[in-house]
Structure 1
Amino acid sequence: MLIKSIKNCEYFQVADETVLCELLHPKNENLKMGCSVAHALIEPGRASLPHKLKSSVEIYYIIEGEGRMHIDNESREVKPGDAIYIPPESSQWIENTGDEYLKFLCVVTPPWQEEDEELCD
């Protein structure tokens, strides 16, 4: 049985300036799984940079805080309990519009790879 806690997870900043920890990733856990799961944080008043994943589907699941999700030419408010589908090759970014940290899970299939992420102009 494998159980990982965000309390023991190392956070780092990725290219889009989101701070995250990889909770479950097949390369780290030597598991056969078709996705990766990360816990992401964005400070109040901050936003991720516009970016896209070239070959992966991404799902954000909002845990805490308030934000505004931007995918291509659409944007909508998001709150705890919302799941957001982000197709491959979509320009995306999320901003924290609240007074607390915006906390969410990122589920990526196939699993996230740094070289698959590209900043948008």
Structure 2
Amino acid sequence: MPRPMDDKLLPVRTDAVAPDGSHVRLLCETGGGSMAHFELGPGQVSRPVRHRTVEEIWYVLSGLGVMWRREPDGSERETDLRPGLALTIPTGTSFQFRNTGRTPLEAVGVTMPPWPGENEAIPAEGPWPPSV
């Protein structure tokens, strides 16, 4: 049976802290994916992680930063984060991000399939020492 329609305003309070250390506000979920708002404070650096089974699409809302990604084949990329940028994090890709600005770095991410639980993200090696 299909899920009913849903709508939700961005929560004022953080719902969780992600395995990477960013603050998460949960939004909507369907059988195919889930959406969340991620925030990393000024000057903060996330913990590097890799997802076991999900892939993500992120859209940057505000702030400035850098996203590092390493695919399973070893290819790496650093992408400057700024409002209006969308990027993908394929399954098995290690990633880490940092806020290089003076305001919070905020993004909306869609996780497909929906986030399965706390064992989904595993620690990875990244380019920067984490601060969260």
What TM-score, normalized by structure 1, do the two folds share? Answer: 0.87
How many residue pairs end up in the alignment? 115
Which amino acid is 2:32 matched to? G
Which amino acid is 1:79 matched to? R
Larger % of helix: which?
1
> What are the within-5 Å matches in structure 2 for residues 47-66 of structure 1?
47-66=45-64
- 1:9–1:36: structure 2 CA closer, same or farther, 3 Å change rule? farther
Q: 1:42 aligns with which of 40, 49, 74?
A: 40
**Root-mean-square deviation (Å):** 1.5
d(CA) in 1 for partners of 2:39 and 2:12? Answer: 15
Q: 2:67 aligns with which of 62, 66, 69?
A: 69
d(CA) in 1 for partners of 2:80 and 2:21? Answer: 20
Q: 2:92 aligns with which of 82, 86, 89?
A: 89
d(CA) in 2 for partners of 1:82 and 1:11? Answer: 24
d(CA) in 1 for partners of 2:20 and 2:14? Answer: 17
Q: Are 2:7 and 2:28, in contact at CA under 8 Å, matched by a contact in 1?
A: no
CA offset at residue 48 of structure 1? 1.4
- Percentage of matched positions with identical amino acids: 29
Q: Are 1:9 and 1:23, in contact at CA under 8 Å, matched by a contact in 2?
A: no
Ranges of 4+ aligned residues in structure 1 off by more than 6 Å: none
CA offset at residue 15 of structure 1? 1.8
Which amino acid is 1:35 matched to? G
Q: Which has the larger radius of gyration?
A: 2
Name the structure 2 match of 1:29.
Answer: none
Q: Identify the range of structure 1 (8-17 vs 78-87) with the bigger mean alpha-carbon deviation.
A: 8-17
- Provide structure 2 residue ranges, at least 5 long, that are not aligned to the other structure: 71-75, 126-132
Q: 1:31-78 CA distances to partner (integer Å, 9 max, x unpaired)?
A: x42001000100000021100111111111100011101001211211
Which amino acid is 1:94 matched to? F
What TM-score, normalized by structure 2, do the two folds share? Answer: 0.80
CA offset at residue 2 of structure 1? 2.3
CA offset at residue 120 of structure 1? 1.0
- Provide structure 1 residue ranges, at least 5 long, that are not aligned to the other structure: 26-31
Q: 2:104 aligns with which of 98, 101, 105?
A: 101
